[in-house]
Every structure is written in structure tokens, then in C-alpha cells.
Amino acid sequence: MIVELGHYALVLALAIAFIGTVLPLWGVKTHDAALMRMAPSASLVLFGLVALSYVALTKAYLDSDFSVLNVIENSHSAKPLMYRISGVWSNHEGSMLLWVLILALFSGLLAWFGRGMPQRLFAAVLAVQSSIAAAFILFLLAASNPFTRVTPAPMEGRGLNPLLQDPGLAIHPPLLYVGYVGCSVAFSFAIGALITGRIDAAWARFVRPWTLIAWCFLTLGIAMGSYWAYYELGWGGWWFWDPVENASLMPWLVATALIHSTVVMEKRDSLKVWTVLLSILTFSLSLVGTFLVRSGVLTSVHAFAVDPERGLFILGILIVFIGGSLTLFAWRAPLLKQGGIFAPVSREGALVLNNLFLAAATAAVFIGTLYPLALEALTGAKISVGAPFFDATFLPLMLPLAFILPFGQALAWKRGDLLGVAQRLATALGLSVVITMIVYAATWGGPVLAPLGIGLGFWLIFGSIADIMMRAKGNGVAFTVAIKRAVGLPLSIWGSTLAHMGVGVSMIGVACTAWGIEKIVEMKPGETVQVGRFDVKLEGAGLRNGPDYRENFARFIVIDGDRVVGALEPGKRVFTGRTMPTSEAALLTRGLGQVYASVGDVNPQGQIAARLYWKPWVLFIWIGAVIMALGGFFSVLDRRARIAAAVRARLPRVVAAE
């Protein structure tokens, strides 16, 4: 019954989404305020219905209702509670429902918080949001219905894919989806601007917080996915340039460009058309990502062989939205009022460079990801484009960007003084060069590029600190005054500083992987292997039972000098209802580095195959990402205050005087 209720709510949501698209748009066209006012109500109702539908599916999972096909395929009565809740999005149908739920949530939030916006833009934006929701709800109902029933119902489900049986499942997909789907808001704003034909600095102020929120979640989602792959797959790597990863990286890169270009638009009323294009591209790439992951067109270490019908359906949605929006852009963008052209040496000039590099890097990733697909479709030849391609294209575009970043951050708007900025950044630059030299000297004969990466990372961190210090200190004021001023700086300044420092921290972490140590060995109990500065001793192996799995595990102890610093228990698990084992890597964190172990089979001589790694400073990679996201959230908070101020300023004076 509840399942049918959920199904019905979803059908109703489709109708509401359709109404919420057509009527407000008609209102925008005919300047009918009553029709336009329907948009927020429709969005709120839509959210309610989709939420109801989602809760119904979750309830089916909680009750282990094995008359629902989706629950049979992905659940098991022995499954712990956490995986029943997160199991909902562990599969194609459920994750698409989550996608729609988040979309509806964003529409609802927009309907609630966007009331101060110009009415026509507001109605158009919500209508575009509803049209996206309509397309995806239609996709759910027509091609991937999570509420399909089965008779007779089996006694037991097939269980969750063991690789997904991990806390990462509870965190990674929702974060990533909030990021992906959050990009839809900027898209809707862009289409709204094209429809209404008006765009100004205020538009940028409305778009920016939403894009920032999406960007923060995308950052965290990608980082979480990377960490999950790192410890779950047992290969010791943290980024594989896999198409599925690239699918999330591309929207992130464009979104990064977008949050920078909206600043230019807000402050200098320029780069308007470009910003609109970026908004369209960000969400388009999110859709491409959804298509790549959900359609099974690309080969990947993530195995995706889904129904071709679904792939075609998503491709259809893709063509309508991307093709439609770009056509609209080509038609309407020339009507938008252009801003002025500005001096090359200025903050806005530097931000244009940032956008150029990010766009070029996105293009490189895009080509590397989709070229094999195009080639196979055209000639039948099968190729794979892997890490070497991306190392040779992506990195050379990112490193110069990192180098110019602190300069750009310190330049003034309108007319910057590059020489003056260079003088003020001299200490930061000098320190970074010294650090690079020291690292080179200390690791002479080791990796060549890695010390340079570390130097660049420190340059970003010191450059950001120097920027804050310059803003706080001004012309040599007292220390206490400087501190007070630093604390009083707008949150957005702290936000961008933090985010840039985060990039530096991640960069240092990535560079340090060059000094990682990998040992592939076969060991008998009692044997010891040296991994970096640690001795790893195999104590023994055994068999144990978990709630819904059996695990062959090995126990290693890690010795640093002559002191035991911890134990590692990697294993291979076989889950109930599945036949294949999965590896469980074990991690021991020492400082910011990790000792990493995964085990394979036991050979006829009784030796256990093992992979042992020492990964110095590896945690910096993800800590940096968290700092970036934190910086983004700081900026969001600041913007909200700013919008409120703008609204207050419009109120009559009498109110302000009270």
C-alpha cells in the first residue's frame, strides 16, 4: 500500500512539474502575474510529493518488502539499518529518485528564499527547474521505476553489491548529487535571464550563493568518492582518471570557473554572456556525467551495463536540455547588454585567465573522456585514454594557473599594479622557493616534479596568508589593530583565502604521493617486510564472521623503530547472497601519512599475497578538499548577509530608522 502511495505521489509530481513549467512560462510571456505566482507554489508542492515518494521507497527498504523488485535486487533481511537507508540509492532506480528529490529540494528552497527576486525572472527560473524535474520524473516512471512489484514475492533478497557495503555509500552519493543537481539552479537562472532578456549585477548576486553551495558539495562528494575508492578498491590509488571520475571533475572545473566569473559580473558588470554560457555548461556537464554513469556507454572500472533503453532516454533528455539551452543561448545572448572590456592587468583580468585555464582544462578532460566513445562509434576501433593522457594535458594547464593565482588574488580591481603586487608577495614567493630547494636537496635523486608541486602548494598557502596580512595591515598599523581588522574582513575574503589554501594543501598531498612506497609481497606468518621507515610483520591469518559476511583476514603489526605502533587487519569478505569476495584494505594513520595493506590469496606454500604501502602526507589531499569546501561555505554565509542588506536597502527609510 505504501509502495503504491509512493508510486502515485510520483505520478502526481509529474503532473505538478508539468503544470509548474507551462503555466508560469505562459505568465512570463503574457505578463500575467497570477500565472507567474503559481511557480513557487508548484515548486513547494512538487517537493512535498517527491519527498513522499522517496519516503515510501525507504519504508519498503526498512521493512525488507521483497515484493518490490528494487528491494529484492539490492537488499537482504540481514542487512544493517544504515545500509537499508542508504541502500535506497545504491542502485540505478533509487539513485535517480534521490536525484529528483534533491532537484525538488533545490526548487523548493529557491521558491522559499528567492521571493525577493524580480517576479519574471523568479517565475522563469522556477519553471525551468520544474521542466528538469518533469523530464527526470518521466524517465523514472517510464524507464526505471523503483516501485515495480513482483509476484510471488521471494523470501529473501539478493543483497547489496558488497563493494557498496561501506559507510562511504551513506555519504558519497548524496554529497555528489547535491553538487550535481545544485548546478541546475545556475542553469535555470541562465535560461531565465535568456527568456526575460535581462541580466545585471543583481542576477550574479542571486546566482552566486547557489553555485557556491553546489560547488562545495561537489568538492566534498568528489573528495569522498576518491577516498572511498582509495580504501575500498585495495589498489592504493586515489584518482584513476576513470570516465566516471572525470564525469564529476568536469562540472567541478566549470563550476569553479563560474563562481569566479560571477564575482567579475557582480563587481564590474562585465563577462555577462560568458557567465550565462558557463552556467549552461556546468549543468550540461552534470547531465553528461549522469548520462555517462547511468547509460553504460563507457567502459570503466566501475562496471555499468545498464539497459540501453535507459541510455537512450537520458540521451534524449540530454539533447533536449543541452541542445535547447545552447540554441536559446545562440538566439538570445546577443540581446543581453554587454559590459565593458577591461585592463589585462587587474583582478578581473586575472579572473579571465583563471576562466580560460579552467575552461581549457575542462575541454582536455572532455576530449579524453569522450574521444574513445566517438572513435568507436565512427570507426569501431577501441581505445582507452588513461592517466598518461591526462597527466600530459591536465597538469600543464593547472600548474600555471596555480602559479598566477596569488598574483590575481592580490591585484586591485580595474587597474592593478603588477610590480607592486610582486613586491608585496616577494616574501611568500621567496619562502616557497626556499622550501622547494630544501625539498630538492633532501630528496636528491628522487622525483623531479614533486618538489616543484610542493613549492607551488606552499606558494598558494603563503600567497593567501600574505593577501590577508596586506588587507589587515594596510600601512603599518599596530599588531592588535591588524588582528582586529583581519577578523573584521568580510567572510567572502576569508572564504576565497581558505579555498585557495585548500588547493595548495591538496597539491602538496598529491605531490607527496611521489615518495610513496609500494611492496607487493608474499609472506608467511612471522615474516617481516620493511615498508618505508616501518617494519610490517605478519602475525597470522584467520576467519571471522560479520553480520552478513564471512571474512578471511590477516593480522599485521606495524613497528616503527622498535615500538609497535598499531595493527592492520585487511581481509577478503564474502557476503551472504553473493559468491565473489571483495577486498577490505586496512589503514593505519601515522601523522598525516598512512600505512595501507590489502591481502590476496594464500598460495600452495601457505604464503599470503599482500600489497603494503606507505603513503606519506596522503591525508593532505582530502584535508585540502575539505578546506576548499569550508572556504566555499564561508563565502555563502557572507553572500546571504549581502543579499539581505540589498533587500533592506530597498525598504522605506522609516523602517530603517526604527
Partner 1 sequence: MTRKGRRLAMIGAVAVVLGIAASLVLFAMRDSIVFFYGPTEITQKNIAPGTRFRVGGLVENGSVVKSAGQNVSFSVTDGNQTVKVAYRGQLPDLFREGQGVVAEGVLTAPGQFKADSVLAKHDENYMPKEVADTLKKQGHWQEGQKGEAKK
What cell does 650 get?
A: 530597498
DSSP string of 125-192? HHHHHHHHHHHHHHHHHHH--TT-B-SSPPSS-----GGG-SHHHHHHHHHHHHHHHHHHHHHHHHHH
Stretch in the footprint of partner 1 (CB under 8 A) among 50-58, 282-290, 315-323, 340-348? 340-348
Binding residue (CB under 8 A) for partner 1 from 397, 398, 402, 628: 397
What cell does 186 get?
A: 545556475
Residue ranges with strand state E in 546-625: 549-560, 563-568, 571-575, 581-584, 586-590, 593-602, 608-615
Identity of the amino acid at 610: A
Binding residue (CB under 8 A) for partner 1 from 125, 222, 244, 523: 244
Told to check if 342 binds partner 1 by CB under 8 A, we report yes
Cis, bond preceding 152 (omega within 30 deg of 0) = yes
Binding residue (CB under 8 A) for partner 1 from 572, 585, 586, 615: 572
Contact 276, 203 (CB under 8 A): no
Stretch in the footprint of partner 1 (CB under 8 A) among 91-99, 451-459, 588-596, 629-637? 91-99
Binding residue (CB under 8 A) for partner 1 from 316, 386, 542, 547: 386
Distance CA 496, CA 350 (A): 15
Q: Under rule CB under 8 A, which residues in 280-309 are in contact with partner 1?
A: 293, 296, 299, 301-306
Binding residue (CB under 8 A) for partner 1 from 21, 43, 58, 90: 90
CB of 61 to partner 1, least distance (A): 15
End-to-end Cα separation, the chain, in angstroms: 56
Nearer to partner 1, 87 or 631 (CB): 87
Q: Under rule CB under 8 A, which residues in 148-177 are in contact with partner 1?
A: 161, 163-164, 173
CB of 562 to partner 1, least distance (A): 30
Distance CA 379, CA 362 (A): 25
Nearer to partner 1, 417 or 522 (CB): 522
Q: Please give the angle made by the CA atoms of 171, 184 and 203, to the nearest 5 degrees.
A: 125
CB of 603 to partner 1, least distance (A): 6
What cell does 53 get?
A: 515518494
User: Coil, strand, or helix at residue 96?
Assistant: helix
Told to check if 582 binds partner 1 by CB under 8 A, we report yes
Binding residue (CB under 8 A) for partner 1 from 184, 583, 594, 635: 583
Q: In Å, how far from its chain's centre is CA 406?
A: 24
Interface characters, 204-243, with partner 1 (x: CB under 8 A)? -----------------------------x-x--------
Give every CB contact of residue 311 below 8 A, 6+ residues apart in sequence. Answer: 291, 294, 295, 296, 297
CB of 317 to partner 1, least distance (A): 19
Nearer to partner 1, 443 or 576 (CB): 576
Nearer to partner 1, 109 or 306 (CB): 306
Phi, psi of 382 (to 5 degrees): -105, 125
Nearer to partner 1, 343 or 412 (CB): 343
Contact 28, 195 (CB under 8 A): yes
Nearest C-alpha neighbor of 577 from the set 157, 89, 153: 157
What cell does 637 get?
A: 554565509
Nearer to partner 1, 51 or 602 (CB): 602
CB of 371 to partner 1, least distance (A): 8
Phi, psi of 211 (to 5 degrees): -65, -40
Nearer to partner 1, 90 or 496 (CB): 90
Place of cell 535547447: 324
CB of 610 to partner 1, least distance (A): 8
Nearer to partner 1, 121 or 405 (CB): 405
Nearer to partner 1, 73 or 156 (CB): 73
Contact 261, 211 (CB under 8 A): no
Helix axes 167-196, 272-295, angle to 10 degrees: 140
Nearer to partner 1, 168 or 455 (CB): 168
Contact 460, 406 (CB under 8 A): yes
Nearer to partner 1, 37 or 519 (CB): 519
CB of 3 to partner 1, least distance (A): 21
Nearer to partner 1, 195 or 599 (CB): 599
What cell does 140 get?
A: 523514472
Distance CA 129, CA 109 (A): 12
Binding residue (CB under 8 A) for partner 1 from 382, 563, 650, 653: 382
Interface characters, 349-368, with partner 1 (x: CB under 8 A)? ---xx--xx--xx-xx--xx
Interface characters, 482-521, with partner 1 (x: CB under 8 A)? --------------------------------------x-
For partner 1, how many residues bind (rule: CB under 8 A)? 65
Nearest C-alpha neighbor of 13 from the set 57, 56, 55, 48: 48
Told to check if 393 binds partner 1 by CB under 8 A, we report yes
Helix (H) or strand (E) holding 633: helix 619-650
Distance CA 69, CA 76 (A): 12
Binding residue (CB under 8 A) for partner 1 from 578, 593, 622, 628: 578
Nearer to partner 1, 396 or 474 (CB): 396
Nearer to partner 1, 109 or 521 (CB): 521
Interface characters, 432-471, with partner 1 (x: CB under 8 A)? ----------------------------------------
Nearer to partner 1, 130 or 275 (CB): 275
CB of 383 to partner 1, least distance (A): 5
Told to check if 371 binds partner 1 by CB under 8 A, we report yes
CB of 88 to partner 1, least distance (A): 13
Binding residue (CB under 8 A) for partner 1 from 21, 43, 91, 325: 91
Phi, psi of 65 (to 5 degrees): -80, 95
What cell does 87 get?
A: 541502500
Nearer to partner 1, 284 or 598 (CB): 598
Identity of the amino acid at 637: L
Contact 613, 204 (CB under 8 A): no
Q: Under rule CB under 8 A, which residues in 599-638 are in contact with partner 1?
A: 600-601, 603-605, 609, 611
Nearer to partner 1, 522 or 539 (CB): 522
DSSP string of 438-496? HHHHHTTTS-SHHHHHHHHHHHHHHHHHHHHHHHHHTTT--HHHHHHHHHHS-HHHHHH
Distance CA 114, CA 125 (A): 10
DSSP letter at 334? G
In the complex, the residues that contact partner 1 under the rule CB under 8 A are: 90-92, 95, 161, 163-164, 173, 233, 235, 244, 293, 296, 299, 301-306, 341-344, 352-353, 356-357, 360-361, 363-364, 367-368, 371, 381-386, 388-389, 391-393, 396-397, 520, 522, 572, 578-583, 598, 600-601, 603-605, 609, 611
